[in-house]
Structure 1
């Protein structure tokens, strides 16, 4: 029996409930649904909407920006917010991890970085390296999935115009090197199954007809520990929700596995 995970930067979970409802009605519900940029405080998170659909959901957010949520058909045995760094758990509205038996699912909304000469660019690098360290520790005891909006396009094929984006915070050589280091023990499940260029997960609102012209970026990723990647059946981008009324600028990315839980 297959098991499916989905990652989706919803760019406001409450605004995107019609999109989520239509998407879930049109498809089999993923076993784990990881959301980023929920943009709502915990007291206004639409908890009942998810529980009515059979999901156990954990979330941490703040007003107007950031926010992560992890919804699952099976209740996790443990949930951790933020990135464990000694006794500190910073970035608690940007990272959530849930354990299902011997499997950890880590859902992150990596800082965009603003510009390569901005302090936030250093914060982005630190976030990626700390996540990579945390994931490596988790992998010592079982399998790990690291998913989410990583705000990094790892290769030229992961964006439409790489020649003009050398100094972009999501494609700069430094951030690509940091991302490669942080994820060096993991497998890019999407690329395992979809090796060809031209598939993206984000189309900027500010670019006219970005979706129809396919001017996009692949910055939403599903990374798996090697043993888990070996059990992957497929991985794909579902472009359709990006074309619906009042969409997020991102669209869901999914992967299916056998023998996970």
Structure 2
């Protein structure tokens, strides 16, 4: 049976539990991967999602920051996590489906405002995080795997509203784009969204700072769904649910979807 998967930086799962429920009801993904849940695992409103049919959850969390969770209405098991950069941050969790497919859910550091690791330790942290991802996947040689999450980088020129304007803005600088490419290459990951939608401007994030985000449309594609080559051909039906960005009390990210015929 086809498996419908979505990834969404929710920017506080407790605050935005109502729109998570709306998404589950209206779009019905089999699996929803959340980032920036900003909650200890025991305080995630799991019972609310269970009542909606999402009876399985794998998560890592911490108070007020970071946090990743995988909600599912199909059986899955906890496949562990990695403490990138040994900071104790809840930025990765993995789950395994009954057929052996592994799902990685990532929340890559945003990187601060200054794209210079000597001046900005947050930017250095981001680059180090990506380097560790690259080295891990290079050594692991992943198979039958899906990688999703807020990777906080818009790699292509048409993944941002203005390539020229954002070349020196964190999330689209050449060093970040190059670093993300090494992560993708290390696992031979296929960008499923761009496999399905190869041309045209495509965004998943719009700043809260814009008075009218929809009219200004100064977006970036920061949220991604990748897969290893052995299952990438089974993926399709990719789309970004842009309208969700306009829901009441929204996240600044919109959910990204893909379907896998596994």
Same fold (TM over 0.5): yes
Aligned to 1:39: 38
5+ residue gaps in structure 1? none
Aligned to 1:132: 134
Q: 1:213, CA displacement in angstroms?
A: 2.8
Q: 1:95, CA displacement in angstroms?
A: 0.6
Q: Determine the C-alpha separation between the residues in 1 that align with 2:126 and 2:180.
A: 10
Structure 1 residues 72, 147: CA separation in 2 closer, same or farther (over 3 Å shift)? same
Structure 1 residues 247, 130: CA separation in 2 closer, same or farther (over 3 Å shift)? same
Q: 1:139, CA displacement in angstroms?
A: 4.3
- The structure 2 residue matched to 1:202, chosen from 202, 205, 210, is 205
- Contact persistence 1:138–1:144 (CA under 8 A): no
Aligned to 2:248: 245
Output one character per residue of 1:63-82: Cα deviation in whole Å (capped at 9) or x when no partner: 22211111122232342123
Q: Determine the C-alpha separation between the residues in 1 that align with 2:139 and 2:7.
A: 22
Q: Determine the C-alpha separation between the residues in 2 that align with 1:138 and 1:212.
A: 44
- Contact persistence 2:2–2:260 (CA under 8 A): yes
Output one character per residue of 1:7-58: Cα deviation in whole Å (capped at 9) or x when no partner: 0000010111111122222122x22210000011223211111222222012
Output one character per residue of 1:72-101: Cα deviation in whole Å (capped at 9) or x when no partner: 22232342123478xxx6554111011224
Aligned to 2:110: 112
Q: 1:109, CA displacement in angstroms?
A: 0.5
- The structure 2 residue matched to 1:122, chosen from 124, 134, 141, is 124
Output one character per residue of 1:99-134: Cα deviation in whole Å (capped at 9) or x when no partner: 224311100110011121211212111212222333
Aligned to 2:72: 72
SS in 2 for 1:62: coil
SS in 2 for 1:43: helix
Aligned to 1:99: 96
Runs of at least 4 residues off by over 3 Å = 89-92, 132-140
Structure 1 residues 152, 238: CA separation in 2 closer, same or farther (over 3 Å shift)? same
Q: Determine the C-alpha separation between the residues in 1 that align with 2:62 and 2:83.
A: 17
Aligned to 1:152: 153
- Contact persistence 1:81–1:92 (CA under 8 A): no
Q: 1:208, CA displacement in angstroms?
A: 2.2
Structure 1 residues 53, 135: CA separation in 2 closer, same or farther (over 3 Å shift)? farther
- Contact persistence 2:159–2:201 (CA under 8 A): yes
Aligned to 1:187: 190
5+ residue gaps in structure 2? none
Aligned to 1:221: 224
Structure 1 residues 76, 132: CA separation in 2 closer, same or farther (over 3 Å shift)? farther
Aligned to 1:63: 63
SS in 2 for 1:24: helix
- Contact persistence 1:116–1:168 (CA under 8 A): yes
